[in-house]
């Protein structure tokens, strides 16, 4: 028995499960494991290195693409964050597109371009991506953490949306709408565009609920961090199974609203702002960024990247440990193949049970 949805059909994958984008961390081994398990692997927008800031992160992306395609015959994608402060983002999209075009195996398997945290139009506007889109089966999705952002994705001509609720780990919308409501909102307004539900998913029951209200698949971050195959530090993985759903908090970081595990670092960060405060803050941030030098800007990004990298290296006190509320429903570290198999089996059971209510 398999679950056949618009997402499995679109990508030619066995299971409608994707790994979420988890930059700045490297998720190549995880992408291989998820693709091998019949899901949709994800190469994250990696831009940290040992000194806290990867200067040549275009190289990092190309190397990650080569690593994944050499280690799996499954289907996978890549994430590009398109916010204003992602320096050389357009070059990254161009070089990534050209690299995929130049390798027939990559062109066959790298079918999922996911942009996030910025404009949905930046990828489709890129001329090299346009050539790739014309010459391959690659699909462009953008992360929609709010209804108005879903509208923008649709207007930008996205092939699909990753609808991400407030319970998710990492960067979230300041509007604080949970995934159940958000997915229904987006489904009401844009019923036909393919959707991957994201944020708070870790079980088959959750997946069944998402499929029942309009998604064609789910994406998971925290669940896959806590897997034997992920390259996250053992200390990072170890946080997950004993944690409760209440053990995360939302703070404001250099890239906006962010959900982190409660520790010394996150407790010391600023509280999440209202929309008006956020707009004023963003304006002040743009003014500030215009006023400072390129080197000073890099130093600021480096500071946040260092906290992320501290976590990646296992410092669970001073590191920024990005995790979602789903940690409260993850009880053990498992292999990616076991995770995928269990979720699919349980989702099938839940969907059949729900169908039996219809008489």
Q: What letter does residue 119 receive in the DSSP assignment?
A: -
Specify which residues 252 forms β-bridges with: 257
- How far apart are alpha carbons 171 and 29 in whole angstroms? 22
Restricted to residues 202-221, the positions that interact with ligand FMN (CB under 6 A) are 220-221
Tokens (6 digits) for 29: 């081994």
Considering the complex, state which of residue 129 and residue 236 has its C-beta at the smaller distance from ligand FMN. Answer: 236
Instruction: Kindly state whether residue 21 participates in binding ligand FMN, applying the rule CB under 6 A.
Output: yes
CA dihedral 82, 258, 61, 319 (to 10 degrees): 150
Q: Are 22 and 221 in contact (CB under 8 A)?
A: yes
Considering the complex, state which of residue 67 and residue 103 has its C-beta at the smaller distance from ligand FMN. Answer: 67
Specify which residues 41 forms β-bridges with: 76
x/- string (CB under 6 A) for ligand FMN, residues 94-133? ----------------------xx----------------
- Shortest distance (Å) from residue 335 CB to ligand FMN: 18
Q: Are 33 and 50 in contact (CB under 8 A)?
A: no
Of residues 198, 215, 243, 307, which one binds ligand FMN by CB under 6 A? 198
x/- string (CB under 6 A) for ligand FMN, residues 273-302? ------------------------------
Q: Tell me the site size for ligand FMN, rule CB under 6 A.
A: 29
3-state secondary structure of 279: helix
Instruction: Kindly state whether residue 77 participates in binding ligand FMN, applying the rule CB under 6 A.
Output: no
- Shortest distance (Å) from residue 322 CB to ligand FMN: 4
Considering the complex, state which of residue 70 and residue 177 has its C-beta at the smaller distance from ligand FMN. Answer: 177
- How far apart are alpha carbons 194 and 173 in whole angstroms? 21
Give Cβ neighbours of residue 23 (< 8 Å, ≥ 6 apart): 44, 45, 46, 47, 79, 81
Of residues 199, 204, 206, 216, which one binds ligand FMN by CB under 6 A? 199
Omega cis (within 30) before 4: no
- Shortest distance (Å) from residue 168 CB to ligand FMN: 3
In the complex, which residues of this chain contact ligand FMN (CB under 6 A)?
A: 20-23, 25, 44-45, 79, 81, 116-117, 143, 164, 168-171, 198-201, 220-223, 322-324, 326
């Amino acid at each position: 028995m398999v679950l056949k949805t618009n997402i499995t059909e679109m990508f030619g994958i066995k299971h409608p499960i994707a790994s979420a984008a988890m930059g700045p961390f490297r998720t190549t081994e995880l992408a291989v494991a998820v693709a091998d398990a019949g899901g949709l692997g994800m190469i994250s927008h990696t831009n940290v290195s040992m000194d806290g800031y990867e200067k040549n992160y275009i190289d990092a992306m190309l190397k990650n693409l080569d690593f994944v395609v050499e280690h799996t015959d499954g289907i996978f994608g890549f994430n590009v964050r398109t916010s204003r402060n992602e320096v050389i983002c357009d070059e990254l999209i161009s070089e990534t597109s050209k690299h995929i075009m130049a390798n027939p195996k990559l062109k066959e398997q790298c079918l999922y371009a996911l942009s996030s945290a910025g404009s949905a139009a930046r990828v489709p506007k890129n001329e090299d991506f346009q050539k790739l889109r014309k010459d391959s089966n690659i699909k462009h999705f953008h992360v929609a953490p709010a209804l108005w952002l879903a509208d923008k994705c649709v207007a930008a001509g996205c092939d699909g949306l990753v609808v991400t609720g407030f319970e998710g780990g990492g960067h979230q919308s300041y509007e604080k709408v949970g995934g159940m409501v958000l997915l229904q909102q987006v489904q009401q307004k844009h019923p036909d565009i393919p959707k991957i539900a994201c944020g708070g998913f870790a079980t088959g029951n959750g997946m069944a609920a998402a499929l029942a209200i309009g998604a064609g698949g789910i994406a998971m971050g925290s669940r896959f961090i806590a897997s034997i195959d992920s390259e996250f530090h053992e200390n990072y993985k170890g946080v997950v199974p004993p944690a409760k759903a209440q053990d995360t908090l939302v703070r404001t970081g250099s890239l906006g609203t962010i959900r982190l595990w409660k520790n010394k670092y996150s407790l010391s960060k600023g509280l999440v702002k209202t929309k008006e405060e956020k707009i004023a803050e963003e304006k002040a941030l743009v003014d500030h960024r215009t006023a400072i030098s390129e080197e000073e800007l890099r130093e600021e990004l480096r500071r946040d990247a260092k906290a992320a990298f501290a976590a990646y290296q296992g410092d669970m006190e001073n590191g920024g440990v990005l995790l979602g509320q789903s940690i409260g429903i993850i009880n053990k570290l498992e292999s990616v193949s076991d995770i995928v198999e269990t979720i699919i089996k349980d989702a099938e059971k839940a969907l059949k049970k729900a169908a039996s209510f219809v008489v």
